[in-house]
Amino acid sequence: MMDGGNMKEMMQRMMSDVLPPGIDPALLPTPTSEGAKLLNLYCAQCHNLPGPGMHTAREWPPVVDRMNRRMRMMSGRGMMGMMMGRVEAPSESELQELVNYLQVHAQIPIDTTRYPELDTPAGRAFHTACSRCHALPDPQQHTTDEWPGVVARMKQNMVAMGKSVPDEASIGEIVQFLQRHASKQE
């Protein structure tokens, strides 16, 4: 029999390519909100903490649905709960709050028709590197100052999920592409 911590560690090792690589709770949007608290409480029981940017607002409900079914199955005293260690499942209202939080802070997909520059070497490098784990991001989600830090975190996500990291020249081109189309400084 395994306790929850061991199970999580083992799963994360065996399935790193399909599990959330994990985000520092302090880097979550509105980290002290009810939604962020619920995410920390329920969604890091089996794998690392998932960031809301992993999916678009449209994609999140079926994903949360799938996770909720797992939590229910493992929260009882049945075989699964016995084998894998007990998992807590959210109430209906907590589940609503969770979905709402994930949707409000979800990945915003780029509107490709507004960016003819996607059809240039820099645009193609961005498209290839940044659409492997989630929808291709809208560059307006961040300012010029913010993008280098976000891309640096994405490099860590690539390593954690066993995906190749583009070379430095290519990363530089991608950051510049994002900065050219970034939102204005606040």
If one asks whether residue 161 binds ligand HEC (CB under 6 A), the answer comes out as: yes
The answer to whether 107 and 56 have CB atoms below 8 angstroms apart is yes
Token look-up 């499942």 returns: 89
Contacts of residue 21, defined as CB under 8 A and 6 or more positions apart, other chains included, come to 48, 156, 157, 160, 161
Indicate whether 110 belongs to the interface with ligand HEC (CB under 6 A): no
In the bound state with ligand HEC, the residue whose beta carbon lies nearer, of 87 and 122, is 87
Q: Which of 130, 135, 173, 181 binds ligand HEC (CB under 6 A)?
A: 130
User: Looking at 153, 172, 176, 183, which residue binds ligand HEC (CB under 6 A)?
Assistant: 153
Rounded distance between C-alpha atoms, residue 148 and residue 174, angstroms: 10
Question: Nearest 5°: CA angle at 157, between 151 and 159?
Answer: 110
Nearest to 60 by CA among 151, 154, 135, 142: 135
- Binding-site size for ligand HEC (CB under 6 A) equals 41
**Residue 113 beta carbon to ligand HEC: minimum distance, rounded to whole angstroms:** 19
Closer by beta carbon to ligand HEC, 18 or else 119:
18
Binding string, 89-108, against ligand HEC, x = CB under 6 A? ---------x--------x-
Question: Is 118 a binder of ligand HEC (CB under 6 A)?
Answer: no
